[in-house]
Amino acid sequence: MRTYPRRRRGAQINSLIAAAILVVALLGSSVGAAENSPAAVASPRGHSLLSHLGHKKGPAGLPRKWDKRIPLPEGAAVKDVKPPAGAAQTVEFSVPGDFDKTVAFYQQALPKAGFDLGPEVKVPARKVYSLNFTRAGVQDTLAIFPDKAEPSKLAMRITYTPEKGWIRTKLAKWEDRARILPKWWRHHEEQKRATSNKESSAPAQPTGALVQPPAQ
């Protein structure tokens, strides 16, 4: 007789748990549908969420050795990847948005990413902007100009040097030393030759008169 209340309590608890799971599932589906709705995606908050989720990988079409430290504005799409020219790589983008806002984005985002801003040229009337930025002694360039194919967007060209691994970095240092050593040796030899020429052209110092021994 005592087992029936226990069974009833267990059945009530199971029914409550099932109801709670059903409510959570319904709420989750409604929230997901609201976030994926066109209105939510079109809102600024939805764009910031999408850009945050896709920030790590970046837009599709980036080269394998893309420098992930270079920031990209929201909505940037890869248009073309140029063949490498030496150590430099050039990627062209199509960017939606205002010219001044895109320029301001890079003026703020590049220093935050650890880059130093160099010389810049800005022509607002033609919507043309160019900037040199460096990090660890490596210079990259940014160019913004009107997109002829899509006048409502901007075209952007970034020329950068892929980040080297530690082995390539060591080799690059030794290559720099190999370039500097001949210059240093040449300068050293020129100084040595100039010193020897000065010594040879200097007048001979007069020597004292020879003292002859007395005649016997």
- Residue 161 within any structural domain of the chain: yes
Residues 17-28, mean pLDDT to the nearest whole number? 58
CATH of the domain at 113: 3.30.310
- Residue 196 within any structural domain of the chain: no
Query: pLDDT-derived band of residue 20, with 50, 70 and 90 as boundaries?
Result: low
Number of folded domains that form the chain:
1
Flag whether pLDDT at 174 surpasses 80: no
Strand order in the sheet with 89-96: 77-81, 89-96, 153-160, 138-146, 128-135, 116-123
Structure tokens at 35: 């976030």
What residues pair up with 158 in beta bridges, in sequence order? 91, 142
- Residue 52 within any structural domain of the chain: no
- Residue 79 within any structural domain of the chain: yes
Q: Render pLDDT for 175-191 as a digit per residue (tens, 0 to 9).
A: 656 666 676 667 777 88
- Residue 120 within any structural domain of the chain: yes
Structural contact between residues 147 and 138, judged by C-beta atoms closer than 8 angstroms: no
Q: Render pLDDT for 67-121 as a digit per residue (tens, 0 to 9).
A: 999 999 999 999 999 998 888 999 999 999 899 999 999 999 999 999 999 999 9
- Residue 66 within any structural domain of the chain: yes
In the block, which residue shows the tokens 């010389």?
A: 119
Residues 198-212, mean pLDDT to the nearest whole number? 60
DSSP 212: P
Domain extent, residue 72, equals 59-166
In the block, which residue shows the tokens 């810049």?
A: 120
- Residue 158 within any structural domain of the chain: yes
For the chain, the helix, strand and coil percentages under 3-state DSSP, each to the nearest 5: 45, 20, 30
- Residue 150 within any structural domain of the chain: yes
Residues 142-163, mean pLDDT to the nearest whole number? 93
pTM over 0.85: no
